[in-house]
């Protein structure tokens, strides 16, 4: 798989994690939906400017576009979490982290 295909596949994964259609991503990025389809299939030669528009539409750190692990349930769940919190402030994310930490700690078995 070449870089265009890997980036396109990753964009599709992130779009689906956000629950967006290609049309919704295209509108958020200021692009045409057919262009998004071509990018996701890896048949369009995406420019850095266009990639930046997509990253901004997702409101995620740019590095997320280049995380090419095999698609797993774990990765899908993590992507969904990232897209949910991406638009939050640092203070809100810290609050959610504290809550998550308490929930995770409560799930650990208690040693007898």
Most confident of the following: 27-31, 81-85, 94-98: 27-31
pLDDT score for 110: 67
pLDDT tens, residue by residue, 17-35: 899 999 999 999 999 999 9
Q: pTM here?
A: 0.69
Q: Is residue 70 part of a domain?
A: yes
**Which CATH number fits the domain that encloses residue 84?**
1.10.260.40
Asked if residue 74 belongs to a domain, the reply is: yes
Structure-token pair, residue 82: 């990232």
> Of 7, 33, 8, which is closest to residue 20 (Cα–Cα)?
33
- Report the pLDDT averaged over residues 81-101: 90
More confident residue, 18 or 75: 18
In a domain, 41, yes or no: yes
Upper half-sphere CA count for residue 91 (Cβ side, 13 Å): 0
Indicate the number of domains in the chain: 1
């Amino acid at each position: 798989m070449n870089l265009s295909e890997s980036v396109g596949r990753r964009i599709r994964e992130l779009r689906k994690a956000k629950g967006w259609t290609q049309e919704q991503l295209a509108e958020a990025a200021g692009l045409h939906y057919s262009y998004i389809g071509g990018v996701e299939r890896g048949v369009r030669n995406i420019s850095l400017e266009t990639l930046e528009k997509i990253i901004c539409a997702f409101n995620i750190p740019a590095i997320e576009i280049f995380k090419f692990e095999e698609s797993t349930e774990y990765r899908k769940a993590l992507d969904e979490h990232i897209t949910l919190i991406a638009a939050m402030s640092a203070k809100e994310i810290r609050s959610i982290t504290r809550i998550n930490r308490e929930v995770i700690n409560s799930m650990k078995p208690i040693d007898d």
